[in-house]
Structure 1
Amino acid sequence: MALQQSLTVNQNLTIRLLRVLRYNKARIERSLALLPKDRRPLFHVLPFLLHVNHPDLPGYIENSEVPYGLNNFSFRDQIKDALTACFPAKQALFEDVKPIWPRQRAIDALVLMGSIGTIAQSSSSDFDYWVCVNGKVMTARGKHFLQQKLTAVEQWAAQEQGIEVHFFLSDINNVKANDFGVAEGESAGSAQAILLKSEFYTTNIVVAGKAPFWWLVPDSFTQQQYYSLMSQLEEGGSPDPNWFMDLGYLEKLDPNELFGAAIWQLGKAMDSPFKSVLKMAKLEVFLENLEHEQPLCNLLKRRVHNGDEAPGSVATIDPYALMFDQLINHYADREEHEVVLLLQQCLYIKCAPRLSYPADEGEVTFKRRIMAGYARHWGWTRSELRHLDDLNSWSFQELVKLSRRIHRFLIQCYRRMSSKLSMERQLVSKEDMTVLGRRLDTFYSKKDNKIEFLRSGFDDRMYCPTVTLKMARKKAGEHIWTAYSGDQIGRHGKPLERTRMTTSGSPVRILTWCVCNRILDADSHVLLDYDTDPLTERDLEELVKHIQSLFPPVKINALPRKALLAPAQINACMVILNFTTLRLKATVEETILVYSTTWGETFMITGQEALDNLWYELQEMSPQPKCTVFIPHGSQRKRIFDSFMENTELPFELLP
C-alpha cells in the first residue's frame, strides 16, 4: 500500500513537472518571439558568459578564485550560433569549447523575472535575472568576485548591446528566509519580501540550472506538506531532488508588508508609472481580498498544473494577463469605471500592441492576439486604438493630463490602504522607511521656492526640441512668462493654448523647471517671441547649457541611500545676475539664486538676501559645493561680477 502511494505521488509529480517544463519552454519561446531579431542572440549569450571565464569574452575576471559555471547548462547549436553572431571575430573559440568549459558549477540557477515572456514585454524591457547560489558553499570572497563578473557583463550589455541587464546575486538560503537586503537601486529591501517572492514565482523563467521546488507543489499544500513532499524525493529518481532548489514555500502574503510595498511602488512610479499603476492596484486588491484569495502566483501555478483544463494548453497562460483580469474584475465589481478605464489604457500603452496598424507578415504574436481580444471585449473603436497607438503625436497637455490621472490614482490608492493598515505591525525597517520616504518627499512634496517635478511617466516623450517663450506685461508692471512647445512665434488663440506648458514670473524658473523635468536640454532651440528686450535667444540657450551642467535631471530612485540617510546638503549653487534687466549698468540690479541638494531637490530664490540666508551651508559644508555666477554677455559683464564679489566672501567662479 505504501509503495503504491509512493508511486502515485511520483507519478503526479512527474505529470506536474512535465507541464511546468512545457510552460517554461513556452515562456522562453515567447521571450524570443518578442525580442528584436538583432537581440535574440543575447538571450543565449548572457548565460554562456556566466558559464565560462575567458579573457577574450566579456565578464572575464583575472582571478583563479572567481566562481562561475551554470548548473545543468549544455552547449547547443543555437548557443553556438548566437555566440558567433555576437562575436564573429572569435568564431574559432566556439568550435571546441571543452578547453574553456568549467570543471565545477558554482551557480545553481539563472532565472529571469519580470515582464520578459509576457504581454508586457517590449523592445525596451530590462532583463532582470536572479543568479542563485548556495551561500553555505560559496564564500563571501567568492561572492565578491562573482559580483564583479556580473557587473562586467551588465556593463558590456549596456555599452555594446544597448540593453539594460540586472543580475541580482541571490543566496538561496536568504531568499528562503525572505531576506532581500536593504532598499537600494532596484532592490526593495525590507519594503516587500514575501511580495517580491510572490512576484518572482509569478513571472519567473528558468533560463538555466535548477528550478524552484515550489513549482511542483500543489497550490493547496501547507508549508509542512511542502517539506514532506520534498523529503520523499530520492536521488537518481524521477523527479530527482538535484534538479530543484528550495527558495521557500508561499501559502499566503503578509499584510504587514503592504505599507512598505505601497511606498515602494509610489517610488517606482516616478520612473515607470504604467507598471506601477497595475502593481499598486494589485496591492489594493490583495488587501481587499485578504481573507479569501490566494496569492496570484498560486493561482497561476494551479492553472499550469491543470494544463489550463486541457493538457497542452499551458502555453496560453500569461501571468501579466492573469493579474490584469483579477484587477479589472475587482474594480468593475465596485463600479469604479474611471479606474477600470485608466487600468485598461495603462495596460494598452505599456504593452504597445499597435492594433490600429496592420501586423507585418508573420508578426502576429501571442501578445497581439491577447490584446486584440481585450480591445474587442472592451468595445474600443479603431479611432480610440489609433489615438493610443499614436502617443508620440499627443500634445504636451494630453500627456500631462494622463500623467495626473495616474498619479492621482496612485496617491488615492496609497491613502486608502494606509487607512486600513496597522502601522505598528508593518515590517519595513526604519532605515528603508527613511530612504523610501525621502525619495517620495523629494518627488511629491511642495515647498517654498522648490522647482517642482512634473508628475509624468513620459520622460522620453516630454522632451521638446523647440520651445517658445512669450512675455506678457500686466498693469501693475509685472511680467508673466509662458513656455510653449514647438515654434509658436507670432501665434495666438486656442491653437496656441494647446501647446502651453507652464507659466511663471521668471524665465529663469521656467528654464530650470524645463531642464529638471527633461523637457529641455542643451540641444533644444529656445525661441523668444517679440518684445522681450533685453533678453536674447543666445542668453536663454547659454543659461540652459549651464543649468543642465550644474542641475541635470534627477532620477529619484537612483539617489544614493547614504545621502538620503544623512541631512540634506547643498551640492551645487549658481547665482544669475541681471538676467532680465538692462545691461548698461555695472552694478548688480537683479540676483537669482538656484541651488540643488543631496536629496535631489532644486530651489530658486530671488534677491541678495537669499545668498545671505544660505551663507552657512555654502561656507561651512564639507565638501564645499561648487558656487558659480552666470551673467549674460555684455560690455559690463566683468564689472558686474566684481561688484557682486565685493559683497560676498564665498569663492564664486564666473561661468563663460
Structure 2
Amino acid sequence: MKANLLMKNVDIARTDPKLCKKNTNRILFSIDMDDNQPHSSAPGYIQSKGPSSAHVQHATERFMTVNQGRLARVREGLQPKQQQCFDLLPLLFHINHESLPGYSSRDDVPFGISNYHPSDTVIRLAQSITRGQVGKRVSLTKPALSALYLMGSSGSIGQSTSSDLDIWVCYNSELNDRDIDRLQTKAEQISVWASGFNLEVHFFLMDAHRFSGGEQQSLTGENCGSTQHVLLLDEFYRTVQVLAGNIPAWWLVPTAFESEYRSALDTMAYDGYVNDANTTDFGPIATLPAGEFIGAGMWQIYKAIDSPYKSVLKLILLEIYAREYPAIESLAHQYKSDIYRMKLSLDDLDPYVMLYRRIESYLTERDEMERLALLRRCFYFKVGLNLSKPTRTYNWRRELMDYLLDSWGWTKSTIAHLDNFRAWTIEEVLSERRLLINELTHSYRFLTEFASEHHSTHVMSQRDLLILSRKLHAAFDRRPGKIDFIRIGLDVDLSHEKIRLYERESKQEPGVFLWAAYNRPLDADPSPSPLKYSKGLLETLLWSHLNGLISAHLHIPIYPMQQAITEFEIRMLLASMRQILPTPLPKIDSNSFYHPAILTKVVCFINVGRDPLHYLSARGLQKISARSNSLDFSALRENLVLSIDMVLVNTWGEVVVERFADQDAMTKALKSLINRVNKQTRSGLPIIETVCHNQTRPQAIAKRVKDLFEDALSALCSPMHPKNTRFVFNLSDNCILFQHINRVTNFQTLSDVTELEQHLGHEQAEYSPVVFDRVFQQDQPLMSQLYQTHSANTVNVAFELQTTQATLYLIDEQGSLMRFVQPLHNVATLLSPLLRFLKVTEHRQRSNTDVQLMPQRTIQCHQIVRQKNGLELKRIKLGGLVNKGRFISVQVNVDLSDQGGYDYHVVCNEKEFHSAVLGDNLYNAVASFVLGLRASGQKYPVYITDLALTESVTDSFEFGRDQTRHYVSLKLKLEKRINDAMKRL
C-alpha cells in the first residue's frame, strides 16, 4: 500500500515534547504505521526482507518529504526576490533560452535535467523575466544533467540571511572537456545573475561516476580538493536537498546493507525497481579511510582562519569519528537510519542539530565541560541569531534555539553578553582567541597522532598539501617581528579600547628595553598584563593599529624611559600608518598560496624616537637649525639614519617588522631586504615607502633612504643585471660595496674612494658590473661613467692626458678595475703597446679555452675630457693604433717557484733570461740587452709584448682562472722594474 506521508504536528512527545509548540511544518511522520521499521540499530529494507518496489517507493517518499520540508525552510530564510531567483535556478539549467540568464548562442551547450518538469508557476516566473513565451516542454534525446543538489547549511538552523548556497551540478559522464567548459561558463553566468539578487550561489560541476571513482578537483576557496572524499560524501548525504532531477541512489540502500551497496543496487536494477535514468550514484560510505582524517583536519584548520567557530564543530566531529575508527557510525548513516525508522522531525534531522547532539554526547561522556562550553558558543555563533533582542515575527530557527539554550541553562545575561560581542574588551577577545587556538591545536595534534598510530598517509595531493601548509603558516606562524592578527571569526570592534604604550626594562635581559601595550594604567589595581610587547615602539604601535585598537584615537599615551619620542611624532606616525597601511588590509586571493610569498610593499620608518640633531651635537659638529634648508647633508657626508623599522608586507598577507639600530642600521636593513628579495622565486620588486618624522630634515632623510633602497634593489635584485653585480654608495666618509657571493649578498665598508678603487680591482668569479647609487654618481662622475660604458666581454681603456704623463683606467672582461700612470710622449706611443698586448692576451686566453665558451671580445678606448660643467668620455677609434709603431719583442713566461713566488722566463729577440738563474739581476740583464739593441742608445720605456701564465699560476688565483687584469698587472710590474733598471745604467 502506498505510504501516505503528511506534514503534521502530533505524537512528537516520543522524541522531544518541548519541540511541539505552534509550528505546523516542523514535524513530519507517517500516519500509516505499517510502514514503520522496528527500532533496530541497523534498519533494513522497508516492509520486506530484500529489495522490492514497495521499499523503493517508501524510501523515496520519506526522503522526498524531508527534502520538501528542508527546501521550504530554505525559501523561508530568503527575501521575496531571492525566493524567485532560487525557484528559477533549475529552469536556467534545464533550458537554453536567449532571454534567460546563462544563455549560450552555441547549440551544443549542455542543458536539460533528467526527470525535471517545471511547474506552471516557474514558467510564469520565467516569462515575467523574458517578457515572452518560454516553452514548458524540452525536446532532448538525452538531458545533459542528471540533477541539481543543494548541500551544506541551507535549510538548516545554520542558515542565515548571509549564507551562501552550494549547489552540485551533476552532468553525464559522456560530456567531453569542451562541453564541461561551456557548462562551467553557463554556471558562472547564472551565479553572477544571482548576485544581483544579493544571493551568493556557488556551483560545483560534478560527475558522479568520476567522484565515486575517487577523482577530485584541485583545492580552491570553496572546494576541499583532494583533502577529503568520503568525509565530503558523508556531509553531502546528510545535508543534500534535491532541487531538480534524479534522487541519490544512496537513499535506497539500507544502512545495514551499506557494505553490500553495489550488490544491493545491482539487484534493484536487475529486478527493474530502479534504473540509471532515475538515480544518481555517488557511491557508498561503507568505510571512512584513516588517511582522510589528517587531510580533512588540515582543511578545517585552513577554514578556521576565517570561520573558526564552524570549523571547531567539524574538527570535534572528526575526532569522534577517529576515536570510533574503524567501526564508525557516520552522521549520514544516522540520518538515513532515522528516516527509515520514520523519525521525520525536521528539527531532529537538522544537520547542525544532529552534529551538535553527537558532539555534546561525546564531550559529556568524557567530562570535558570546558570544551562543551566552547562547543555551545561555537554553535550559537554559527547560527547567528540575536536572541537577546525580542521579536514578534515567528521564526522556526529562533524557536529551536530558544529550546536548546533553555536546555543548556544559559541565562539572559549570558546570551546578552554573546550578542554584544562587538563591545567585548580586548582581554575577552584574546581569551576567546586562546581557547579557539588551543582547540585547533588539540585537534591537529590528535589527528596527527591518529594518522601515526594507524600508519596512514594522508590522501591529499602534494599541491593541495602545499597550499594548506602555506596558508596555515601565514595565519598561525609566530616568528619574531611578525604581526599577529586578533581573529576570532567575529566582527569585534576594539576601537573603544584606550591603549597606552610603555617603555620598560626587560627583567630577563637587564639593559634591554621593550615597548608594551596596555589597556589600563600600570598603577591600576589589579596590575594589568601587557597585550603586546616588542623591542621597538613601531612594532607595538603597528600591532595596535592593524588590530583596530587605536582606529578611533588621535592621541595615544606614550610613556618612554629612554627614547625621546614626542607627541607630534606619534601623531604623524599614526597618520602615516593609516595612509600607507590602512585597515583592514586587502583580502588575500587564494591563488596567492599557489606560489611562495612575494614581498609587495616595504615601509621604512626612520629614526623613530631618535633625532640625528643630538647625534651631530654629540660628535662636536656645527649646531644646526632643525628645519634649516641651508644645510646640505650630502655635503656634510654624515650618516643621519640612526634606526630603521622596516615593515614587510607579502602576498600571503603577512606583515613583519625588522628593527635595525645604530650607525649601521641602513646597511644592515638594506642587506636584509636584498637577501629577502633575492630568495623570491619570481621577479618583481616591492614598492618602497619611507617615513621619517623626527625634527631634523625628515623629508630629506626619507627621500635619501627611498632613493638608495630603490637603486640597490634595481641593481642587485633585478633580472636586468647579472647576479654578481656590485653596488656602491657613500655612507658618511665611507664607501659601502654590496655584492652577492656564495649565495648571499653581503657588504664591505671601505674607508675612502682610493680603497674602493683598489677593491674594485679584485678578480671576479664571473662578469661583475658595478652600479653606483645616484648620490655617488654626482660625487664621483668619472668612476660612474667608466662603468656605464662597460659591458660583458669587453675591455675598456680610458686615459686622461697631463703634461708629461697620462692616467689610464682599465676595466677588464670581468669588470675588474685598474688605474695606472704611464709616461706621455704622444697618444700613439701611449696606447699602441697596451692595445697590442691586450689583443695578444685575448688570443692566448682563447687558445687555452673552448672557443664556444669564450665569446669574441671587444676593446673600447675613451679619452677623459674635463669641462666646466662636468666631464666627458670621448670615444677613440682604434684604427691602426694596435699595429702602429715598432717595438722590440719581449715575451715573458710566468711560473710558480718552489718558494711560492713567481719565476720569470724572459725571451727578448730570441735571447733568454731566467730569474731562477739571474735572481734580482734579471731586470738589469734585460735592460742592458735592450739598450744594446737600440742604435740610438736612448732609454725610452720597454714594453712587454706578450705574457704567458702556466697552469699552476692560474690555479693559484682566487677563482682558479685568469683574466686580463692578471696579465696587465704583471706586465706593468715587470716593465717598471726593467725601466727602473735601465735608468740606472
TM-score for the superposition, normalised by structure 2: 0.58
* Match of residue 213 from structure 2: 177
Deviates further, 207-216 or 62-71: 62-71
**Deviations, residues 118-157 of structure 1 (Å, cap 9, x unaligned):** 111112212111111123x111001111112222333343
Instruction: Give the structure, 1 or 2, with the largest relative contact order (CA under 8 Å, sep 6 or more).
Output: 1
**Deviations, residues 532-564 of structure 1 (Å, cap 9, x unaligned):** 423253541332221139x93555x8253421x
* TM-superposed deviation, 1:334: 0.9
* Match of residue 847 from structure 2: none
Task: Give 1:190's aligned amino acid.
Answer: S
* Match of residue 650 from structure 1: 712
**Is 1:588–1:643's contact at 8 Å kept on the other side of the alignment?**
no
**Is 2:688–2:706's contact at 8 Å kept on the other side of the alignment?**
no
Structure 1 counterpart SS, 2:202: strand
* Match of residue 42 from structure 2: none
Q: Give the distance between the partners of 2:315 and 2:360, measured in 1 at CA.
A: 13
* Match of residue 602 from structure 1: 655
**Deviations, residues 548-588 of structure 1 (Å, cap 9, x unaligned):** 39x93555x8253421xxx4432332222344445937633
Q: Give the distance between the partners of 1:473 and 1:628, measured in 2 at CA.
A: 29
* Closer/same/farther in 2, CA of residues 534 and 374 from structure 1, 3 Å limit: same
Q: 1:142 aligns with which of 179, 190, 198?
A: 179
Matches within 5 A, 1:606-617: 606-607=659-660, 608=666, 609-617=668-676
Task: Give 1:630's aligned amino acid.
Answer: T
Structure 2 counterpart SS, 1:233: helix
* Match of residue 571 from structure 2: 537
Q: Give the distance between the partners of 2:658 and 2:137, measured in 1 at CA.
A: 62
**Is 1:404–1:455's contact at 8 Å kept on the other side of the alignment?**
no
**Is 2:556–2:570's contact at 8 Å kept on the other side of the alignment?**
no
Q: Give the distance between the partners of 1:172 and 1:196, measured in 2 at CA.
A: 13
Q: Give the distance between the partners of 1:208 and 1:368, measured in 2 at CA.
A: 29
Task: Give 1:33's aligned amino acid.
Answer: E
Q: 2:293 aligns with which of 248, 255, 258?
A: 258
* Closer/same/farther in 2, CA of residues 345 and 91 from structure 1, 3 Å limit: same
Q: Give the distance between the partners of 1:425 and 1:287, measured in 2 at CA.
A: 14
* Closer/same/farther in 2, CA of residues 439 and 65 from structure 1, 3 Å limit: same
Task: Give 2:361's aligned amino acid.
Answer: N
Task: Give 1:317's aligned amino acid.
Answer: L
**Is 1:469–1:481's contact at 8 Å kept on the other side of the alignment?**
no
Q: 1:338 aligns with which of 359, 367, 370?
A: 370
Structure 1 counterpart SS, 2:641: coil
**Deviations, residues 13-69 of structure 1 (Å, cap 9, x unaligned):** 111111011010011011122334453333213333333444544434443332233
* Match of residue 631 from structure 1: 691
**Is 1:525–1:541's contact at 8 Å kept on the other side of the alignment?**
no
Q: Give the distance between the partners of 2:399 and 2:385, measured in 1 at CA.
A: 9
Q: 2:323 aligns with which of 288, 294, 304?
A: 288
Q: Name structure 1 gaps, 5 residues minimum.
A: 84-89
Task: Give 1:596's aligned amino acid.
Answer: V
Matches within 5 A, 1:184-583: 184-233=220-269, 241-308=276-343, 313=345, 316-361=348-393, 363-365=394-396, 367-422=397-452, 423-458=455-490, 460-461=491-492, 463-464=493-494, 470-474=500-504, 480=515, 482=517, 493=524, 502-504=532-534, 506=536, 508-510=538-540, 512-513=542-543, 519=548, 524-529=551-556, 532-548=566-582, 552-555=585-588, 558-563=590-595, 567-582=596-611
Q: Give the distance between the partners of 2:531 and 2:111, measured in 1 at CA.
A: 52
* TM-superposed deviation, 1:432: 2.2
> Structure 1 residue 131 and structure 2 residue 172: aligned?
no
**Is 1:593–1:611's contact at 8 Å kept on the other side of the alignment?**
no
Q: Give the distance between the partners of 1:7 and 1:296, measured in 2 at CA.
A: 24
* Match of residue 87 from structure 1: none
Q: Give the distance between the partners of 1:496 and 1:78, measured in 2 at CA.
A: 68
Q: Give the distance between the partners of 2:212 and 2:53, measured in 1 at CA.
A: 24
* Closer/same/farther in 2, CA of residues 13 and 91 from structure 1, 3 Å limit: closer
**Is 1:578–1:631's contact at 8 Å kept on the other side of the alignment?**
no
**Deviations, residues 410-460 of structure 1 (Å, cap 9, x unaligned):** 2112212322323553322333222222221221122132222334222x2
* TM-superposed deviation, 1:405: 0.8
Q: 2:92 aligns with which of 46, 49, 55?
A: 49
* Match of residue 73 from structure 1: 116
* TM-superposed deviation, 1:273: 0.9
Q: Give the distance between the partners of 1:336 and 1:619, measured in 2 at CA.
A: 50
**Is 1:403–1:457's contact at 8 Å kept on the other side of the alignment?**
no
> Structure 1 residue 618 and structure 2 residue 670: aligned?
no
* Match of residue 162 from structure 1: 198
* TM-superposed deviation, 1:105: 3.2
**Deviations, residues 483-517 of structure 1 (Å, cap 9, x unaligned):** 75xxx9x999479979x864545454245435655
Q: Give the distance between the partners of 1:342 and 1:109, measured in 2 at CA.
A: 38
> As a proportion of its length, which structure holds more strand?
2
**Is 1:303–1:314's contact at 8 Å kept on the other side of the alignment?**
no
* Match of residue 121 from structure 1: 159
Q: Give the distance between the partners of 1:77 and 1:215, measured in 2 at CA.
A: 29
Q: Give the distance between the partners of 1:169 and 1:91, measured in 2 at CA.
A: 29
* Closer/same/farther in 2, CA of residues 216 and 542 from structure 1, 3 Å limit: same
Deviates further, 279-288 or 380-389: 380-389
Task: Give 1:51's aligned amino acid.
Answer: H
Q: Name structure 2 gaps, 5 residues minimum.
A: 1-46, 506-510, 559-565, 613-625, 628-632, 634-639, 661-665, 715-985
**Is 1:191–1:261's contact at 8 Å kept on the other side of the alignment?**
yes
* TM-superposed deviation, 1:177: 1.4
* TM-superposed deviation, 1:268: 0.9
Q: Give the distance between the partners of 1:466 and 1:379, measured in 2 at CA.
A: 31
State percent identity of aligned pairs: 27
Structure 2 counterpart SS, 1:332: helix
* Closer/same/farther in 2, CA of residues 36 and 582 from structure 1, 3 Å limit: farther
Q: Give the distance between the partners of 1:339 and 1:620, measured in 2 at CA.
A: 43
* TM-superposed deviation, 1:208: 1.2
Q: Give the distance between the partners of 2:402 and 2:496, measured in 1 at CA.
A: 36
* Closer/same/farther in 2, CA of residues 542 and 171 from structure 1, 3 Å limit: same
* Match of residue 724 from structure 2: none
Could you say which structure has the larger radius of gyration?
A: 2
* Closer/same/farther in 2, CA of residues 617 and 65 from structure 1, 3 Å limit: farther
* Closer/same/farther in 2, CA of residues 71 and 94 from structure 1, 3 Å limit: farther
* Closer/same/farther in 2, CA of residues 512 and 132 from structure 1, 3 Å limit: farther
* Match of residue 592 from structure 1: 645
* Closer/same/farther in 2, CA of residues 537 and 134 from structure 1, 3 Å limit: same
* Match of residue 823 from structure 2: none
* Match of residue 91 from structure 1: 128
Task: Give 1:641's aligned amino acid.
Answer: A
Q: 1:13 aligns with which of 26, 31, 56?
A: 56
Q: 2:145 aligns with which of 72, 92, 107?
A: 107
TM-score for the superposition, normalised by structure 1: 0.85
Q: Give the distance between the partners of 2:497 and 2:102, measured in 1 at CA.
A: 44
How many residue pairs get matched?
A: 620
